[in-house]
Structures are given as C-alpha cells and as structure tokens.
Amino acid sequence: KQYNYHKFSNMAPQSREKLLYENDDLELVDAFSKKGYRTKPILYVNGEKVPEDLAAKARSNQTLLSFLREVMKLRGSKLGCSEGGCGACSVMISKKDPKTNQVKHLAVNACLMPALAADGCHVTTVEGIGSVKGGLHPVQKAMTELHGSQCGFCTPGIIVAIYSLFASSAEAKHIEEHLDGNLCRCTGYRPIWDAARSLCDDAEDLVKGPCGTACRECPERDDCEQDCNVEDKATATTTEKGVKSCSATKLSLKKEFEEGKTNWLDQPNDMFPKELMDENSPVSISLSKPLIIVDQVEYQGSGTWFKPTTFEQLLSLLKEFGQDGQGGYKLVVGNTEVGIEMRFKHSIYPRLISPAETVESIFDFTVTPETVTIGGCTPLSLVQHEAEAAAKDPLYTRTTMPMHDMLRWFASTQIRNVASLGGNLVTASPISDMNPLLASFGASLVISKLSGGSEISRRKVPVPEFFLSYRKVNIEAGEIVESVEVPVLNKYFDYVKPFKQARRREDDISIVTSGMHIRVAPKDGAFVIEHAALAFGGMAPTTIMAKETAKALIGSEFSRSTFDKAQEALMKEFNLPEGVPGGQAAYRITLAASFLQKMYFAVAVDLKADVEAIAADATAAAQFPSPLPSVVALEEEEKSGLDNFLSANKPTLVGVQKYPAPKVADGLEKEILPEANVAGKNSASAVGKPSVHQSGSLHCTGEAQYCDDIPEPSGTLHGSLILSTSCGCVFEKLDKDAALAIPGVVGVFTAEDIDVLGGKNLWGPIAKDEHIFHPAGEKIRTVGQVLGVVVGESLESAEMGARAAKISYGPVEDKIIMTIEEAIAASSYFESTRHSLTRGDVSVIDGLKDTKNFEGTPKVGDIVKVSGSFSTGAQEHFYLETNATLAVPSESDTNLTIYCSTQAATKTQTYCASSTGTPASKVVCKVKRLGGGFGGKETRSVFISCAAAVAAKRTGRAVRLTLPRNQDMLISGHRHAFVSKYSASAVITEEGPKLVAMDVHLYNNGGYSLDLSGPVSDRAVFHSDNVYFFPNFRVEGVACKTHQASHTAYRGFGGPQGMAPAEHVMEHLAQVCDVDVGLVRRLNMYKEGQATHFGQILGEKQSGKWNVPRMWDKLWTELDIDKRQNEIVEFNKKNKYLKRGATLLPTKFGVAFTAKYMNQGGALVHLYTDGTVLVSHGGTEMGQGLHTKVCQVAAQAFGIPVEMVYVNETATDKVANTIPTAASMSTDLYGMCTLDACRQIAKRIQPYREKLGPEASLASIAAAAHFDRVDLSAHGFFVPDDSRVGFDFSITKPADYPADKPENSWKGNPFNYFTQGVAYTEVEVDFLTGNHRTLISEVLVDVGSSVNPAIDIGQIEGAFTQGMGWSTIEEVVYADEDHKWVRPYGTMFTTGPGTYKIPAFNDQPEIFNVSLMEDVDNPFAVHSSKAVGEPPFYLGASVFYAIKDAVRRARETPGYFEFRLPATSERIRMSVNDEISMKAKKQVIGDSGRDAAQYQVQGSF
C-alpha cells in the first residue's frame, strides 16, 4: 500500500518503509547445514505445531512474548515490565527431560525468554488453558468465582503460574512455596491464594475432622460437636445478620470448580505433543540436530542463533566466534541477564549461542561423598530441588540445604526455571546471592575450552579468584564455566549459613548477602575456630571475602567475645563512605555485622547439637577426644537471633470476610427519583449480591481486551517518545537526521508539527503550564520531558530512532531543586495552591510557637507541647498496564478515534482535538478497560495520547504508542511526597491527654508543573485532623515546585498524607505523656454533632452516622486488644532480637470531588426488545468493579438478572463531557444517573407491565412498548445537591452569618459524606536485619449498604495492601543530594520492578480479616451505599504504625523519635539504635557533627 507522506521534511523517504538487513552470517548457513545443522525452528503452541511459515518469523533477538503477541496474535500474555519482574507475561514451557524421559512443565517469563529458546518445546499460553466459549479450566473458574481478578491485566500470568505449579504438584505447600513470580496491584492477593488452594489435592484435608470425613460432607454435620465442625459452620454461614466466609470454607469448593473435569490435572501432559515424546518420530530426530537461525529482518543489527546439541559443538562455536575479528558471541541459557542488557542497555549481540539440554555435563547435578558438582548451565530451580533432595541424606544436609535455602528466595520461580548457576557467576553481580555462598564453601569453577583441534582443556578457578573487578571475571573468549564443584562439609563441626536482606523478601535483589563458613575443632578443652570464610555481596564492586575478619576468628576459641572482636574487625574492613554507589552505607555495614552475630547464634546451636549427637553415637565419639569441650548454651532470649527467613516455612496466608446479609436498600434515589416498578413476579434482587466481576471470566482466559491488545489497522505505525536527559537548562535543538536515517523510521514529530496542524501545544488539567512537546528555546524543567515522538514500521525501529535523535542542551543555569526542603529554602512554591483553615482561639495557636517542648513527667493540669516534622514518601502507581494509546485517523484524516488507557476520556478527547487542530466533535475517545489506574491515568495519560494523535494526524496512519515501564515511571508522576511541620499541645486530665491545639504546615512535592498538586494539597488540609477534635487548629497546605516529574492523583489524593501527620502527633504526645497511644486516640475522637475544622458537622443529617468511635470499641472488644497487648509484652520479654508491635488505627475519608463542577455524571441506557439492557456511562472500568455495580443497579431497576445488563465501553460519542473516574465517586455518580435513566424507561413501560401482568417477561413488555412507539432509551444525569458539595477557601465570613454555625462552614461543604474504618495490625520485626512480618490485620469498614460486598471487600483488601506498600517497602528514589551516586542528576532511579518494590504474594498479612460494618445505611448515595476505592487505603498504614510500635519497644535510646514513612528494612534497622547500628552510623557520618542517635536514613522527599 502506498501512503501519502505530504512530503513533510520530518518524514523519512518512502523507500524505507521496509528494509532487509544484510546479515553476514547468511554466508555461514550452507557450511553449517553441511555439518548437520537444521535451519528451521520447531515450535508448538497450545497443543498445535506452529506452521513453518510462522515459525520462520521467530528471530534471534526476539522475545517469546513478542513472537506470541505479534506473530501468533495470542495477546492473553501481557507485557508489564520487560524485565521479568511482574509475571504478567508468564507462559508455561513443557519439554521432555532427556534424563528421565518425563515431561517437565515450567512457568517462564516470556518477556525475557528468546522465542528460539522454545525450539523443541511446547508453549502453553493462557488461551490454551481454557476459554469462555470452550469452557473454563478449574483454575480459571476458581479465580473468577472467588473474585481473584479486579483490573485483570495481571490475571493471565497468574493463571498460567498456578496452572504450571499444578502440573508439577497439587499440594498446597508446593503452591505456597513457589507462587512468587507474579505481582498484582489490585487485589491484595488473598482471593488469589484462596482460589489456588481451593484446588489442591490436600485442600479438603484441611477441613476434615479427626474422623477423616470432610466436615461439609458428613451426614452428622448438624449434630457433630467436634471443634473442627463447629468452627467450620461458624465461618461458612449466611444468616439474617450477615455472611461470613473464610479461606477454609473455600477449600470445600474444589468439586464445584472441577465440574466433572476430574482429569484437569492431566491436561498439561495430554496437550504435550506425542511426537516430542517419541524419540523416533521425524520431529524428534530433527530436534536431535543442532540449529542455526540467521535473522534477516532486524533494525538493531544482525543476529544469529545457534543451538548446539553436544559439548564439542558448543566449544567449537565458542572457539570459532571468540577469535578476534569474528564479531563475538553471547552465551545464553535463561536470557535473564542478557535480555535485560538488550532491553535497557540496548546491547547488540551478533550471535547468541544457546546449548541444548542434551549437553549433559553442563546441565547436571551430582553428589559424591567429597563433592557436589553442578553443571554451569543447570537451571537454578533444578539446583534448588536437587539440593533439597540430596539433603535428605544426612551426609549432605549441611552442604546442600544452604544452597536450597538461598535459592528459594532468589528472584522468582519463573526466573529460577531458566536462569543458570554459571550465568549467575559470569554475570558477576556484586549483589549476587549464590556467589558469596559458593565462595564461602571454597567452591571451584571448572572452566573449559577447545584447544588445538578437538581437545578439551580444563582449568579450575576458586570462586573468590574468579571475580576480578566490577562485572569482570576470570574467563576468556572461547571458554565456558562447565561446572561448579562444591566440597562436601564434614559431618560434624563444619557449618555454612546463608544470609540476605532485601527491600522485599520475594523476588528482590539483596542489599547485602552473605555466605559464612565456620569449622571448629576440639582443642585444649575448648572449641577452636579452625577455618573461617566470610563472603559478602553488596559490600564492594565484586563478591568479596572478609579476610581480616577471618584472621580475627581463625585460631581463636569459639565464643561470644571472639565474635565481638571479629565484628569490630568486620566493621573496620567494610568502611563504606556515605556516598557509596548504591547508598545505604551505614545500613550495609550494620547488616554485615548483624549477619556475623546471627552466624554466632546459628553455630552455637548447631555445635551444641553436634556435641549431643556425638555423645549418643559411639562410632562418632571414637573419632574425637573425650570428653568434648562443653558448649555455652544461648540464653533463651538470644535464640530469637536465630531467625532467618531463608530457611523458614512460608506461611499459609488466610482471611475471613464478613458482611451484612444482602439487601436492597433505598438511598438518595428515594428522595430525588420517581418510583417506577416493572419487576415481574419471579424477579430476583441484583443489588446487594456478591456478583462476580462482569469481565472476570474474560480476565482469567486472557480474552479481556486492553488497549495494546486491539488489532492494529493495516499500516499501523509504532511510536517511541524522545525524552530529555537533563534539566535546568535550555533545550536548544533536536537533530532529527540521525533518527530519520534509521531503517524503518517513518517520521519524527515535535512542537513544530503541532503548529503545522494548527493545534495548541499547551495543556494542563487546571493551569495550562505544560507542553505536549517541549519547544526548542525553552528551559527544560525535568528529566524526562517529552521533546518529540518517533514513529516507525516496527517498535524496534521507532525506539532506535528515538535513541538516535541528537538533543542539544544549553548549560545548566538553574539550581536543581529536587526535595521539599530544598524548595522551602528557595521559596519555590505554586503559590496558587496555598490554602489554610483556622478554628478556635488564634492566640492559643500562636502561643505554641513560643512554648517550649515539654520535658519531664506530666501531671494532671499540665499542658504538654510537642513540635517536630514528619515526612511521608512518594509512591509509584505501578498499574500493571502502562499508558497506551492507539490513534486512528479517518475521513481523510479529518477525524480521530483514540483508543486509550485513561481515567479521563473527555480530557483526552479535548486535548487530542486541540493539539491536532481538530474539532472535538470529530474526535472520539474510547476506553474498554484499564489494567489499573489508581489516579495515575487521570491526567498523566493525556499528553501521551496527544503525542500519538499528532503523529497519526501528520502521517495519515494509525499510531500505536505504548510506554515501556521505565519510561512510564519516569514521566508520569506519582503520589506526592509530603513534609509536615507541626506544633501541638494537650492538657493532662484524669482521663488522659486531651487535645488543646495544633498548628501544622503541609508541604507537598508537586514536581515541575501544577497538574493536580493544588487539589491534592487541599484534600490533605481537609484530612489533617483524621478523626480527632482539636479545639484550636490551624493548617496550611502548599505545593512545592521542584524539578521532579509532575506529580498527580493517587488513591487517597492527599488524604493519607494529611492524616499521617495527625497520627504522628498522637504518637508524639503519647510518648511524651508516657501513655498508650490508643488512649490518646480514643479520648480525642470527634463526638456526634461536633464539626470538623472545615465546618462540616459529623452527624446523621449533615454527613451520615458518625461510626468511628463505635467501630473502634467494637474491634477493641472483639479482638480483646488489652489481652493482645499483654501478650506482646510477654513475647518481647522473651525475645531479644525479635519484637512485636501493634496498632489500632482509625480513618475517615471525605467523599466528593472538592471541585464542585466535577460532581456530575451521565448515562445512556437502552432497553432492547429481547429484554436485555445496554448501559453506557461516563466512568471507566479499571478493576474497581464499576461496570459490574452499574449493571446490578440497572438489573435491579428492571427486575432482571444482572447477566442481562451489559456495559460495553466508555466512549465520548455515547456520553459526552464526562468527568474523570476518580475520587471514589463513580458508583455514586454513575449508579445514580443509570438508575435515573432506567426509571425513566421503567415509567414509560409501567403501563405495559400492568397490562400484561406479573408473569410477563421484560422482553414481551419491551416489545409491546416498542410497537406502540414508546422510546426505550433514556439519558440519565445526576448531580449531588449544591448544599452538599463545593468549598471555596476564598470566601470570608459574612457579617450576618449565624453565630451557632460551625467555623468555616460559610465556605461550603467539601464532602457529601464520610466513609469510615478502623484496622488493627500486629507485626513481628527482626531487629538484626529490619525484616518484618505482618502477622494479622483486622479491618472493619463502613461502606453503607453495599451494592456488591464481594467487590467492596476486594477493594478494601487491595487498598489496604497498597497503603501497606506505601508505608513500608515502596520507596521512590531520585538522583538528588541524598543519592549522588545516581546519574544524571535529577533523574528517577526507581523505574521498574527491579528497583521499586510493591507488595508481593508473601507480603500479605498472614491473617487478613475484613468485615463490613452493619447498620450503616447512607441516605446520600444510590441504594444507600458508600464509596470504597480510596477510603481504606490509609488503614494499610496500620502496618507502619505497628512497626513503629515494635521499634519503640526495641529502641535502646528511649524517648521520642521521628520515624519517617515508609518503614523500609533500612529505616527499621537503623532506628533501633543498638550498639551495632550506632557504631555503623558514627563510622559513616564521621566528624560531620551530626548526632548518630537522630540519624535519618537517606530518602527522596
């Protein structure tokens, strides 16, 4: 097809539409064919052999995911990160094991695995497991019915991961151990765990009584008084009072999910191609030959794939291409490192050599009494499992179990299934887990090569000598690590232990990792350390041996004093400077020293056990002098220092869900909408039922279509953004020539092109202070500012073109402001965002400034004043689906259809129209569903869609622009970091401290442009009281202008950042007053009828029932928190190094858009003559279940099953002028406007119901009305009453304002009502490492009368988990003054799952119970429901406060301390202020004058 390029100067010549790259290796094909090499790959997908013409399209540098999605058009597997960190791309690889002749099934990351690595394998994608049309697989059915999906983007990968695990074992512990390679941002994981466990073979064993019969199948169920039956009946009940369900109840659903498919576990083997099992089949015979594939279509350089089948062939290839002038090669097994290098470092490898598993010596694991030998290419999962199997023999236990324990926490199952031990060694990561462990063992590498003719020469290199410098190892071209030889430890007195600490336990690289080897011998009445080898990762540019520390140990008596001296030697040996690459200097030193302390504890216990075992074994005793020296036993409290999650069993994560009995409640509609009842005689209620997500089954089969899954129109181009790499300087010029010269590039578009189109380059959700394409001549304000977009025939060509574009910058003239404190110092603010509220006596508030902080022991009548600051960190949205747009021009390029992943369809339409000079009426924005949003796609998706729209309008061709994860995180903004500066006071009463006053200033880091930072600040101001009554209160909020990316909406929208300092003040006052913080919280909660600082009365008529005090008391009593607190005290007394903490945390969250005009919604409803209903409304579905709830509302209105109502998509040509789906208002708005439209139709057809009678179907009624020319369509619209929404800070008190009205109420009402909740959380913290476990979280939330309790509970769990992540492990890091090792200055470091950690499966509270409050109807919303998406988020911070409580109990420097949020492992460990951490801090800060006791770890606030 010929395209009209309009001969624009920025368009590449038409002849470059397609270009064959001449690969020199084409000349080798004949020669290798004569050697027996085949030239065509053999691939199988979903039970079928891939046709040769399609298989031939598999390229050497192409990932399996790319092949499946682009060539096979199987788009169920998703691209989430391109680095194997999220699992959205998971597929199952099945292959015949050459050793056992059995089929092995392995989940892998298709985003990393090369397509050609699947040669000879069977690939199963989610489409091959089951489908909506062909029938759901039990795994898919369980996930659907147990509400395991929300946005659904991660679901196909999770389904495949679970399916793959069941292919190996159906035991619950197997699933719990290995489900570690997938992330979900929506659910909180609990329902996924329930779905997976419900299908386990041993699931029913968990709900069987001692009689051996499953409780629910017992004929004496009603009469049985066994505890198991009584408890089971109590947790699986539906009564008039409510519904209670727990993880155990779901275990009995296996038969229901199987639906007669009792052979479903055999499906993977049944699908495996028979010809691959038959070694004599033509296919197997062909596969026995080596493979060469020469890539002929490539934009990044030629690529040739070799798959040798013998060791000799492999060494021959290494020799041939390792010679000078031959272009080199890269040896790949799992491609887990090379894939990263190719994707993010843009490395080009002309030849990839991937040995077949038939090369036995490099895919082996053997044990002898002297040595464990591991093949260099042996997958880590095989090493892990073989090590565990070998450990069953006591001879090998202490040798192989440390390997197993380290590997089970190394990366993920998907990575371990393909990554090799040799690859891990050769990669030489300084933070590798296995390299230090092998070094401590004294392991050696056998390095082989072909020398001379066909002779194989081998040399041995000790592991510590293999690492030469950063990422450089002792291996030459042509050589391979053939095997690793690990000496078997002695049966007695020989100990190796692994240690590691990361930001997250599962699938995370270590901060510090270590392998320690101690061997002792009895000598002169004592045990003397005969050998010590201490290896560390994370302490140097390479794996490093602590040689001086070993010297301090060897020859000394095994004792605590010896290890104390060694600890001092270790800290001196690892004297890291504060600015060390990777940061965290003091923490890393502390960890190394703490690991050594743990090693002492571990060896002390094992040594005692050895002495006892020898004493009981005469044969063993004869080998040693008698009597053996005595061993000093550890004190009981010291045994907690043995805690090491590496060897601990992964917990079974469970939960109970409780909600009131389903009912259809009347809400606001009773007052504002006309009654119209067309329900028939047999109509069932739809509202109040736990209906499954409308798209749940599509999520689970991979058939749910997301933006990047939409089939491309013919001629579609792919886009890649050109981003700035500097800031604070002038953007002088963009040289497009180099980009246009890239084969396949079609055009480069910049601000000039918007001018050509007659469009407008400025945009912004409030102030138009941003450019779609930053124009030349203007100052760049952030790293990652969009300068242009490159479009090409392929994504590869576009990305290469974007990298090739040459950007000219002027000198950096501005001071780069990155943090809030820097902005305050420079008075860099968005002044328009500065708003304040004052209540009470201003003189009392002002007096706080001149009052000293209280010291001493307070007594009744004293005024206790505290002051300080509190910082809360940023948070990345990490929606699994990155921003994506498909812009399609039509009608001679006069119209545009924008398919995109956005929460703001109208805003996208508006700016795509304005930027392209197109009338809005000719631009349609369509949104089917989002793979998560959380606020991140409310505004920051818009300019991305505009870039695609401009390119589409300029080329006249469709343009697809899907951001890679690292770009999305860099440019799209995140939750605002806040710094709060406060002064507060309380008076001591007989009851306890009563609040007097607070003065708090809230500063947020807004980034370089305004975006929504003002409204975020305002909501923080509104929520700065949380649930507490301050009689005298002043709060001011302002957004700071910095050089970070522009920050934006995020679940909670500033509310959590406003509540956090209030809770910090409660804790500060409690610490100074020496009382329990729970007392301070409960004593100072608002009472019914009191007004907030913004003038809104808490009470039934004004904002609904005030339930927080009642909910607090309910949990306190039901959980017996007094008893729990006593148990925590007792536990902490008995455990020196493990401490527990707990908190009960309340929240209230105001529901409404604070901008009054945004509180509106529209819907279009069609009733068809078959009785089905189609709803179109202005909200977008992003996993929150909005469409499902709207369908329930419509179904209830018409008296039909919910399955008869459908929401297709959100489109601006169906419902115009929509409001972004945000503020948790969507069900309130779109449920009500949908009900409005339904009742309009119902009123029109009500006469036909009366005429045809109660037995008539809706279809017959609709048909009768249609023939009478009755309109069966209606547009509904809803706005909350003016008196209930809208707040204006600028309004001053009118002179005649009633004196009995609350202060500031004259400014308006910011919220329609409040969603309320409380959460109790207990944690356990290892204070030698900073690792924490969340033992239990009990959550109680008031969501009114729930439209769908299952969806609401899912939202609560997901919000809680996200809040837990924000407040604990999630940490955004920038290149700033605290992180000078990151470059370029001003850029973002945490731009992917490798560096940014959201909660994983293992991070869920071990007991996670969620209840919906009863008797809490809400008269201000549809069907008396309440908003639920954002309000529970802050309850996740109960984990933070519980950790802080544990830290407080453990601290060796008593008194108040500022514990900043998030509570990372580093912040936890370094806040304890024990001897080790204090030494490390003093060592790092030196003579800088800082107080080590007040030391704050680095952070990007």
Catalytic residues: 1430
Tokens 């090499």 correspond to 37
Question: Which sign, positive or negative, has the C-alpha torsion 566, 570, 572, 573?
Answer: positive
* 3-class SS letters over 185-208: CCCCCHHHHHHHHCCCCCCHHHHE
In whole angstroms, how large is the CA radius of gyration of the chain?
33
DSSP 1231: I
Query: What CA–CA distance (Å, rounded) separates 274 from 1331?
Result: 48
Query: What CA–CA distance (Å, rounded) separates 1089 from 1071?
Result: 30
Query: 1409 and 1337 in contact (C-beta within 8 Å)?
Result: yes
Query: 8 and 747 in contact (C-beta within 8 Å)?
Result: yes
Residue 320 φ/ψ, nearest 5 degrees? -65, -45
SS3 994: strand
Instruction: Identify which of 947, 978, 600 has the alpha carbon closest to the alpha carbon of residue 763.
Output: 947
Helices first, then strands: H and E counts in the chain = 49, 50
Largest CA distance in the chain: 109
Query: 783 and 1008 in contact (C-beta within 8 Å)?
Result: no
Query: 87 and 414 in contact (C-beta within 8 Å)?
Result: yes
Per DSSP, helices labelled H in 1368-1464 are 1438-1450
Instruction: Identify which of 506, 508, 458, 515 has the alpha carbon closest to the alpha carbon of residue 482.
Output: 458
Angle at which helix 1232-1252 crosses helix 1186-1198, to 10 degrees, equals: 30
Instruction: Identify which of 1205, 1193, 1203, 1249 has the alpha carbon closest to the alpha carbon of residue 677.
Output: 1249
Q: Determine the Cα angle at 94 with ends 93 and 96, to 5°.
A: 140
Q: Which residues pair with 981 in a beta bridge?
A: 869, 1001
Query: 1285 and 1219 in contact (C-beta within 8 Å)?
Result: no
CA 1240 to chain centre: 43
Give the number of other Cβ atoms within 10 Å of residue 202's Cβ: 14
Q: Which residues pair with 243 in a beta bridge?
A: 238, 659
Assigned token pair, 681: 């005689």
Query: What CA–CA distance (Å, rounded) separates 21 from 1269?
Result: 65
Q: Which residues pair with 926 in a beta bridge?
A: 899, 1211
Query: 1064 and 1027 in contact (C-beta within 8 Å)?
Result: no
Q: What is the DSSP string of 681-702?
A: TT----TTS-PPPTTHHHHHHT
Query: What CA–CA distance (Å, rounded) separates 595 from 590?
Result: 9
Instruction: Identify which of 280, 288, 138 has the alpha carbon closest to the alpha carbon of residue 199.
Output: 138
Q: Are strands 745-749 and 786-792 parallel, antiparallel or unpaired?
A: antiparallel
**CA–CA distance from 1009 to each of 766, 882, 1038, 1044, 1155 (Å)?**
10, 22, 14, 9, 19
Query: What CA–CA distance (Å, rounded) separates 1219 from 394?
Result: 67
Residue 634 φ/ψ, nearest 5 degrees? -70, 145
Query: What CA–CA distance (Å, rounded) separates 1411 from 663?
Result: 16
